[in-house]
Amino acid sequence: MTAQIIDGKAFSARIREKVAQEVARLKSDAGLTPGLAVVLVGEDPASQVYVRNKGRQTKEAGMLSVEHRLPENTTQSALVELIGRLNGDPDIHGILVQLPLPDHMDSDAVINAIDPGKDVDGFHISNVGLLGTGQKAMVPCTPLGCLLMLRDYHGSLSGLEAVVVGRSNIVGKPMAQLLLGENCTVTLAHSRTRDLPEVVRRADIVVAAVGRPQMVPGDWIKPGATVIDVGINRVPRDDGKSRLVGDVDFGTAAEVAGAITPVPGGVGPMTIACLLANTVTACCRANGLPEPEGLTV
Ligand code: GUN
Question: Residue 289: phi, psi to the nearest 5?
Answer: -100, 155
Q: Nearest residue CA, atom 11 of ligand 1?
A: 99
The C-alpha atoms of residue 79 and residue 287 are separated, in whole angstroms, by 26
In order of start, what are the domains of the chain with their CATH numbers?
31-115 (3.40.50.10860), 141-269 (3.40.50.720)
Q: What is the pLDDT of residues 144-163, one digit of tens each?
A: 999 999 999 999 999 999 99
* Residue among 234, 151, 170, 17 at smallest CA distance from 162: 151
99 alpha carbon to ligand 1 midpoint, in Å? 5
98 in catalytic set: yes
Under 8 Å between Cβ of 270 and 145: yes
Instruction: State pTM to two decimals.
Output: 0.97
For all residues of the chain together, what is the average pLDDT?
97
Q: How many CB atoms lie under 10 A from the CB of residue 277?
A: 29
pLDDT reported for residue 254? 98
The C-alpha atoms of residue 234 and residue 35 are separated, in whole angstroms, by 32
Q: What is the pLDDT of residues 26-70, one digit of tens each?
A: 999 999 999 999 999 999 999 999 999 999 999 999 999 999 999
In angstroms, how far is the first alpha carbon of the chain from the final one? Answer: 32
Q: What is the pLDDT of residues 236-249, one digit of tens each?
A: 999 999 999 999 99
pLDDT reported for residue 190? 97
Q: What is the pLDDT of residues 83-98, one digit of tens each?
A: 999 999 999 999 999 9
The C-alpha atoms of residue 230 and residue 210 are separated, in whole angstroms, by 8
Question: Ligand 1, closest atom to CA 275?
Answer: 6
- pLDDT over 80 (residue 1): no
Q: Active-site residue among 18, 54, 173, 222? A: 54
Mean pLDDT to the nearest integer, 114-140: 98
54 in catalytic set: yes
pLDDT reported for residue 25? 98
225 alpha carbon to ligand 1 midpoint, in Å? 28
* Residue among 106, 140, 148 at smallest CA distance from 121: 140
Q: Active-site residue among 18, 57, 98, 204? A: 98
Question: Residue 73: phi, psi to the nearest 5?
Answer: -90, 15
pLDDT reported for residue 114? 99
pLDDT reported for residue 210? 97
Mean pLDDT to the nearest integer, 11-31: 98
How many Å separate Cα 158 from the centre of its chain?
22
252 by DSSP, 3-state: which? helix
Q: Active-site residue among 121, 204, 229, 247? A: 121
